[in-house]
Amino acid sequence: MSIAMPIRLGPAEEALIAQLEGAGAKDAAEALRATGLPNRKLEAYHYTDLKTMLRDVPTANVADGAVTAPKLRIPGAYRVLMANGTASHESTPPNGIIISDESGNALSARDDVLVSMNRGLATSHLKVRLEGSVDPAVHLDYRLSGDARHVATSVLIEVADGATATVVQSFSGSDAAHLGNHGTRIALGKDARLLHIIIDEMEMAARHFHTMEYAIDEKVALTTLGINLGAGLSRTSIFGSFDGGGAHADFSGMNLLDAGQHCDIKLDLTHAVPDTTSTELYKAVVRGDGTSAFQGRIVVAQDAQKTDARMMSQGLMLSDEAQIFTKPELEIYADDVQCGHGATVGDLDENSLFYLMSRGIPKDEAAAILTRAFVQELLDRIEDAELNEALTGMVDEWLVRGDAD
Amino acid sequence: MSTPMLEIKDLHVRIEDEGTEILKGVNLVVPRGEVHAIMGRNGSGKSTLSYAISGRDGYEITEGDVLLDGQSILEMEADERAAAGLFLAFQYPIEIPGVATMTFLKAAMNAQRKARGEEELATPEFMKAVRSEASELGIDNDMLKRALNVGFSGGEKKRAEILQMALLKPKMCILDETDSGLDIDALKVVSEGVNTLRGPDRSMLVITHYQRLLNHIVPDRVHVFADGRVVESGDKDLALELESKGYAAFDDKAA
């Protein structure tokens, strides 16, 4: 029998515990007191040691109505503003978009400090239900303003049986040491089709955490694209479960990182029933001494015959100081499945660079063309022209920013 | 005598990470408007010569000079050499996924125009130029929309190279083993494309180890390359002599 050693807690942990106790989240507070923030010995946080990286905690959930200017505009989208954790929307939602504020939308309980903190502190419990063929994209526009603040949000996106929708979540804010800890549950009904885009454009001082949970029913078609180009420190955890046959999901993301940034994506998918398929494609482009991490795990349950899952992570290092970590895992308990994973990391291909330069294209421009080409296949997944243009513009702006360095 | 289009003077080149000298004193003059051929067996340094002239990283010039239209180009980056009028048709054109051929052509043409202080091409003007040159080479619109060289057949890749040459209008073209991977029909299309680009203000250096290409692109001069230098020069009949005697007959001269 082992004797539990008391954990030495730092000021950040003490502050978080006080905030949880203040919010009446006694269990979460106790859990944090028992374990402290996760460090690198914990598999799930191996590349992101929160105990050392999260040193200070700003004030929690101060609602003051201040809003920063929008960073991303999606033409034609229906926008719901999430200003410092409080939801508001201007007009009556168009047909098929039903917005309500109700409890019971929290993330599922997990042995994960960010999840239990989110469950303990989230103030808004927004529910967005999408029915039928929803024409405008729904844009959940999260903004954190003013001095550093700790904000926890919880949103449920419910896509009804047979519904088709596009949802964009974007995160931006002032350049302060915000701590955003967001939770999003996505429940997909039978035959639902969803394009889910998640964009982190926080400023460098900010710390950004987002946990997503997908429940995928029969014959669902899901496409996700996460674009991370903001926040000094960010961590995205994605959980997904295939619970109905005939469903297909394409999970994807790109980390576009500069010096001083650390961005970690953890993906955890379970093919729980027979006859479901998925692809996972995650790309990282890193400049300066930026760090990108990807941990992907696919579990195929014993019953889940005919699963087809293909996971790939690709990294492009644009400097000698860049760091990219990748760890794909497959856990297969069924015998009639097709699964695979792969990973590549490298710098720009010399042959390609020379080829472009030999046609008169200067080196910087050639490098930008090749970097853009590296992520192009992810942008190609966005069929809507206006949305594609908005996202492409964002990527291009990031590339141009690199030229100025 | 007018300035030669290309003048290579006692060029010595070694590969940076290996240290072995590949080119051991190449001397070559290609006058304005002429087409010269370099013939040599595999491994004689022909491709190194083309890379060294076009400015590829990793090729260290230890001695000698290369003049393009009277100007030394050795201090220039590859893109600057291209803007100065040099073009290399690759033996193995590089596949670049994610970059549409059309987008690439526009980037290349405009980069060269910018370097020369000219206005960028307007899109309609650009499209018109591409369409007209492409149809000459039997390149359809679909191919132009595809990613650069990705999934192109050997013949399509070489035709795409010639299309770039036609659009960029270089003064000095180096064609590196342009016949490799081509069947007879494709060879004819590519050669005709090259021949239409011959003119009094454009010179070419055709690199090959096989005489066949020179039946289609008839050179003014032929140079035999062995062990990193030119060992024999002559008129087009030298190619035929080489074909019948073999390269071994010229090896002594390299020693």
Residues A109, A111: Cα–Cα separation, whole Å: 7
**pLDDT for the residue A318:** 95
Report the residue from A355, A360, A370 with minimal CB separation from B90: A355
Nearest Cα to Cα of residue A230 among A142, A299, A154? A142
Note whether residue A272 is domain-resident. yes
Does the pLDDT value for residue A65 go beyond 80? no
Does the pLDDT value for residue A250 go beyond 90? yes
Does the pLDDT value for residue A281 go beyond 90? yes
Domain end marker among A312, A327, A348: A348
Q: What is the mean pLDDT of chain B?
A: 92
> Coil, strand, or helix at residue A280?
strand
Using a CB-CB distance cutoff of 8 angstroms, which residues of chain B are in contact with residue A377?
A: 97-98
Note whether residue A118 is domain-resident. yes
**Same structural domain, A318 and A355:** no
Q: What DSSP string describes chain B?
A: -PPPSEEEEEEEEEETTT--EEEEEEEEEE-TT-EEEEE--TTSSHHHHHHHHHT-TTEEEEEEEEEETTEE-TTS-HHHHHHTTEEEE-SSPPPEEEEEHHHHHHHHHHHHHHHTTPPPPPHHHHHHHHHHHHHHTT--HHHHHSEETTT--HHHHHHHHHHHHHHH--SEEEEESTTTT--HHHHHHHHHHHHHT-BTTBEEEEEES-TTHHHHS--SEEEEEETTEEEEEESTHHHHHHHHH-THHHHHHH-
**pLDDT for the residue B210:** 83
Does the pLDDT value for residue A405 go beyond 90? no
**Same structural domain, A314 and A332:** yes
Q: Which residues of A lie closer than 8 Å to B, measured between beta carbons?
A: 349-352, 354-363, 365-366, 369-370, 372-377
**Same structural domain, A124 and A186:** yes
C-alpha distances out from residue B79 to A395, B54, B86, B166, Å: 25, 9, 9, 17
Note whether residue A126 is domain-resident. yes
Helix (H) or strand (E) holding A311: strand A308-317
**Same structural domain, A208 and A243:** yes
Contact B108 A356 (CB under 8 A): yes
Report all structural domains of chain B as residue ranges with CATH numbers, in order of start: 6-254 (3.40.50.300)
Contact B82 A377 (CB under 8 A): no
| Band (A404; pLDDT cuts 50, 70, 90) | very low
pTM of the model: 0.90
Contact A351 B94 (CB under 8 A): yes
Over residues A232-242, mean pLDDT: 98
8-state DSSP, A181: E
**Other CB atoms within 10 Å distance of the CB of residue A248:** 16
**Same structural domain, A367 and A286:** no
Closest residue in B to A356 (Cα) is B108
Question: Which of A273-287, B107-121, B140-154 shows the highest mean pLDDT?
Answer: A273-287
Please say whether the beta carbons of A62 and A19 come within 8 A.
Answer: no
C-alpha distances out from residue A356 to B54, B93, B106, B115, B199, Å: 12, 11, 12, 15, 26
**Same structural domain, A166 and A269:** yes
C-alpha distances out from residue B119 to A343, A357, B56, B174, Å: 43, 20, 28, 27
| Band (A297; pLDDT cuts 50, 70, 90) | very high
**Same structural domain, A200 and A340:** yes
ipTM above 0.90, yes or no: yes
Using a CB-CB distance cutoff of 8 angstroms, which residues of chain B are in contact with residue A254?
A: none
Polymer length in residues for chain A: 405
**Same structural domain, A168 and A257:** yes
Domain extent at residue A361:
349-405
Residues A1, B131: Cα–Cα separation, whole Å: 79
> Coil, strand, or helix at residue A345?
strand
Tokens 């994807």 identify what position? A252
**pLDDT for the residue A312:** 97
8-state DSSP, A365: H
Nearest Cα to Cα of residue B193 among B138, B152, B131, B149? B138
Question: B195-254, pLDDT tens digit by residue?
Answer: 999 999 999 999 998 888 999 999 999 999 999 999 999 999 998 888 888 888 887 676
> Coil, strand, or helix at residue A83?
strand
Closest residue in A to B85 (Cα) is A360
In total, how many domains does chain A have?
Answer: 2
Nearest Cα to Cα of residue A173 among A214, A196, A142? A142
**Same structural domain, A307 and A362:** no
Note whether residue A190 is domain-resident. yes
Shortest Cα distance from B218 to chain A (angstroms)? Answer: 26
Note whether residue A245 is domain-resident. yes
Residues A259, A97: Cα–Cα separation, whole Å: 40
Note whether residue A393 is domain-resident. yes
**pLDDT for the residue B254:** 60
**pLDDT for the residue A204:** 96
Residues B14, A1: Cα–Cα separation, whole Å: 68
**pLDDT for the residue B180:** 84
Over residues A380-384, mean pLDDT: 94
**Same structural domain, A295 and A377:** no
Q: What is the mean pLDDT of chain A?
A: 94
Question: A188-217, pLDDT tens digit by residue?
Answer: 999 999 999 999 999 999 999 999 999 999
> Coil, strand, or helix at residue A119?
helix
Report the residue from A360, A363, A373 with minimal CB separation from B115: A360
**Same structural domain, A359 and A338:** no
Note whether residue A16 is domain-resident. no
Question: A102-148, pLDDT tens digit by residue?
Answer: 777 899 999 999 999 999 999 777 999 999 999 999 999 999 999 99
Inter-chain Cβ pairs, chain A and chain B, closer than 8 A: 81
Q: HSE on the CB side for A109, CA within 13 Å?
A: 6
Note whether residue A35 is domain-resident. no
**pLDDT for the residue A357:** 98
> Coil, strand, or helix at residue A156?
strand
Shortest Cα distance from A263 to chain B (angstroms)? Answer: 25
**Same structural domain, A143 and A106:** yes
Question: B50-64, pLDDT tens digit by residue?
Answer: 999 999 999 999 999
Contact A352 B54 (CB under 8 A): no
Report the residue from B94, B97, B115 with minimal CB separation from A355: B94
Does the pLDDT value for residue A50 go beyond 80? yes
